């Protein structure tokens, strides 16, 4: 692992803080009031999507040349963090727009970028990402989805599992095996599929513990024919492109985790300042003060790791793999601990749906699982370390 010490690891600018305040205000006014209902009904957060589109925060990472806001990686993380502070499901709108389009930004031809990025930038379409399969989760190279040459195009057969915003998104980056006899890991290619493609269907919505407002479904491909100009990057480069994408987008999951944890801490602080027992505020009990101090300390450490990783993502630093995995892993573990402690601070009230803490605790859990489990993140980090010493 190589560290670059030639410049600041990250710098929060006045523009970043203006973005934070704008998103926080929007989230408190337009997103937080519907968060419980979105969770209760497992419905797509349309009000949040409309509000984010109106303010141009739905896909802030898309460059200006494609009609986007051109936000840097740190600004994009701040957007996701502040939305997640109010509603984790809604934060997956900007996060998954980045996940789905990142392979295009990293490896697509100019023609593919010009066709698919502007509609997302205008808020006319969501973009999702199809990598995992039922038997190819952590072991992505064992995928079975196939793309077979057919004239000047391709025919795709197979399925993808656990796809965030499936059905709600118009476009999908899909990874498929294009050379079944080729070397494992070098026989996969990325393509763009459109929701309207004949033979492209969706499985039933998954019944999940958390992030219920973000639809999660399988993608099913039954002889889906697409033109050859839908390829993203070169043939056989898909898995390499997918892993490079995750290096960048794991940072956004870290930002989501930080936002969830911050929301939980904020609600817990409001409660302990008001709740009285034994004739005084429970905030005045030292045992609870120690809990709050630890929650805030670990949360701030996680935020700093995410911001460092975001800046490395923006610069495409060579040690991004380590820092992206570390930020996602640490921040998600912190989110799980902070939300659990927040529920504890509220006691019985924290266990009810009258307060948002139980929802935040359920939402936090997925951050330890998707875009690579935290066990896989530790493998990524270890390989970065071992590789640097060999």
What's the residue count for the chain? Answer: 390
Assess contact for 44 and 215: CB atoms under 8 A.
yes
- The dihedral through the CA atoms of 196, 238, 381, 143 has a sign that is positive
Assess contact for 219 and 130: CB atoms under 8 A.
yes
**Neighbouring residues of 304: CB distance < 8 A, sequence distance ≥ 6:** none
Q: How far is CA 163 from CA 109, 215, 216, 218, in A?
A: 25, 8, 5, 6
User: 202: which strand partners?
Assistant: 219
Strands 188-194 and 146-150: unpaired
CA 152 to chain centre: 34
- The dihedral through the CA atoms of 171, 174, 179, 183 has a sign that is positive
Token pair 């990874």 is found at: 175
Indicate which residue of 81, 237, 314, 371 is catalytic.
Answer: 371
Distance CA 334, CA 174 (A): 31
CA torsion, points 373, 375, 377, 379, in degrees to nearest 10? -140
Closest-CA residue to 82 (of 13, 14, 29) = 29
Provide the token pair at 370: 């998707």
Would you call 371 a catalytic residue per the annotation? Answer: yes
Catalytic residue numbers read 371
């Amino acid at each position: 692992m190589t560290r670059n010490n030639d410049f600041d690891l990250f710098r929060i600018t006045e523009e970043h803080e203006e973005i934070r305040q704008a998103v926080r205000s929007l989230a408190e006014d337009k997103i937080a009031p519907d968060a419980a209902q979105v969770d209760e009904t497992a419905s797509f957060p349309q009000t949040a999507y409309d509000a984010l589109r109106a303010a141009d925060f739905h896909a802030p990472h898309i460059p200006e040349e494609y009609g986007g806001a051109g936000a840097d990686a740190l600004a994009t993380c701040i957007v996701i963090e502040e939305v997640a502070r109010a509603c984790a499901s809604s934060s997956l709108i900007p996060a998954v727009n980045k996940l789905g389009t990142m392979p295009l930004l990293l490896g697509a031809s100019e023609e593919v970028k010009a066709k698919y990025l502007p509609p997302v930038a205008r808020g006319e379409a969501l973009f999702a990402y199809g990598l995992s399969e039922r038997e190819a989760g952590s072991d992505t190279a064992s995928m079975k989805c196939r793309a077979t040459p057919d004239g000047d195009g391709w025919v795709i057969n197979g399925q993808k599992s656990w796809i965030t915003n499936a059905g709600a998104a118009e476009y999908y980056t899909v990874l498929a095996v294009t050379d079944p006899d080729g070397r494992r890991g070098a026989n996969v290619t990325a393509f763009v599929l459109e929701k309207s493609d004949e033979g492209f269907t969706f499985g039933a919505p998954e019944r999940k513990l958390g992030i219920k407002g973000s639809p999660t479904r399988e993608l099913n491909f039954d002889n889906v024919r697409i033109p050859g100009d839908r390829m993203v990057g070169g043939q056989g480069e898909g898995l390499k492109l997918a892993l490079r994408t995750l290096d960048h987008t794991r940072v956004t999951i870290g930002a989501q985790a930080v936002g969830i944890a911050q929301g939980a801490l904020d609600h817990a602080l409001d409660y302990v300042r008001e709740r009285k027992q034994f004739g005084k505020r429970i905030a005045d009990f030292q045992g609870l003060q120690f809990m709050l101090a630890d929650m805030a300390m670990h949360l701030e450490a996680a935020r700093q790791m995410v911001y460092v990783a975001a800046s490395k993502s923006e610069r495409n630093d060579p040690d991004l793999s380590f820092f992206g995995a570390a930020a996602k892993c640490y921040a998600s573990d912190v989110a799980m601990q902070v939300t659990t402690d927040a529920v504890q601070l509220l006691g019985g009230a924290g266990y009810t749906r009258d307060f948002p803490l139980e929802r935040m605790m359920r939402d936090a859990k997925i951050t330890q699982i998707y875009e690579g489990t935290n066990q896989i993140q530790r493998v990524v980090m270890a390989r970065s370390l071992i590789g640097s010493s060999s």
